[in-house]
Chains A and B, each alone.
Chain A
């Protein structure tokens, strides 16, 4: 039973989606069923994380094939943490979808697609096989593209096409990497692969010719997944046009696939080349931080501003991974979790403001002054914005503090200086958005409509941000344990190949 625990967070949403589709004639039943399935699955991933934390990694070999031959599902500390983070945020996303006024949330396929998105995302975090990663990533991408294409926003189809086209191309990159790795090492199991790459690096004669090609292609795949500059161009469009509950998920947890991939690449798969990859990640991170911050300053749409800010926040995480010391990796993990909570909350609030505006759009021209009569929403947005900028008493402060400490201890003062400047930019654009929506007097005749999207989900997320800011110790301890676990690839290899 214990080993089956790692199956549950993937299989429950998949089954839930299949049954949910059959219930398409009864929308109320379908909604309740989908929400129940997602809650159960989130509980299962919490149990998985607890098991991985207290008793060590949970490994399941699909179909009973022993490790290097079959497909392994690995619930190690990193995978389980990411899975719980994803499913926790997805639960709030579904709460928002249940209470929102978007027409697309009433389509019969909306909630099943939300569940397949969950299954794909969780699967990428928990799989121990490179090709399986491709399969789950495709599931994730197709669900996300459809959910955006059916958006109430007319330009949803354009954004979905761009995203899907780029993602299919990225998948081709990953497939080529899979081919290259298979030619070079004859295996696709991540643990076995890591073992063979380590052995190869110690043996004489250098790496096989396709090794570096595969590494670079895989790196590019994860760059596209996380929208790291220069592969970011689809992301602001996509996150602006998606329906609010979906865009809140895409910009918070779905972009973390790349972050997860970079962590796996530098600490497990390509350890002999980790130094090169890390140097690249620091540069990319700093570029993302500066570029994302400046681009967010120049936007005319609240959702687009938040999408560009994701670019910057991913940059911080990449810098943390790039420094590579246990403290910096722990800081990157804290930032990853924090950013998921904060960005989901802020995007939901931006969408909720848009749902109250005269025309449903998050363009600043349209929502300026709409917040005058919505002080509660304003308080939530301000708290979320403070968290994004990293000001106490929110969890954003904890993450930034940990990152700065990691940087000082690693002696990386140049990158630290850039990051410090970019933090100030964050404050500027968040406060600008707050001022425009809640302080500026509205134009003649503009008034908030009654009704609109419910605020339970963003309130939950902002509450969690405050809680993790005031009582950060469990999260920090978890992050430190994950970083320690990632410090030695032999642990992962032994857990999978013996289990």
Chain B
């Protein structure tokens, strides 16, 4: 466990700013307030982003650190895509705030603390032994090759990530994807027990040391193998591997599943045999949408499914509403619930229902359980189903 071998440049400082770097990084902030106005949590924060940045520049960082602000950013990027100065708010300001709070040696919210400690010990926030990473493959119905056992280059390295490997609802989705890849004849393998969290949540939670540790290890593991591209279903890790790892020495060709499939629509269409008669509304997740700009590919894949009709929610594409789980805030649900008036996921589910759709389609592993909970809590059980795009494809391909 040595230190990361990346150069300290303005770019890397921007990835890991300390609170003392913020005044300089934010010197072009014109205090327009578009960030605070766009932020779904802006009303709840004691000091929304605009104000927080100004206070730090004015030497009042302590007040911001003591407030609820550091922990309410869900990293949805509603602010960052609109900021006229292109400042790094969820990617820079908030990790710096969180890092500073952690350095004070106080307690964190227990769920978050546990998640971070688990990631340090076991390479996943759930605290499950890494030896169990491939348990989901045992009932996949098709062989799921592990690259260290294949001992040859592959076209595609499918980095499964933590939720899809360990969380029961997502394990089902992973199994379906394995069958889909098999049906498409994709030459792929997974990392298996060597796989560890890619570090998106840890980075945004301000746990710089932990993120560095994960990056070092992951770059070393990935460099051991030969593959043409990395395939990912988890948009958070996808974004981090695409945009952040290259800045720290890890350059890999990486593609999200929806993009991968959109490239293969002609091959996919004949396999979509069964009609899925449903009106579906698609939720643009923040990492796949605002952060990496993939609005069309998921829709193209959904439209390829016969019988499926797409309806758009009032907030869609760049204006999509976050489910409220990014940047480790899935571990801060209790904290946020005590302070916010309503759950973002509930709001989103109402938007979905308002389109008249019976199905809410998602493409992020956090979302099935978040939205399914919201469906129950808003009394829509039986009226609105939540399904991953993979599940809809598998149904149409009769691989469910």
Partners in one complex: no
Contacts from B to A (Cβ < 8 Å):
none
Interface residues of A (CB under 8 A from B): none
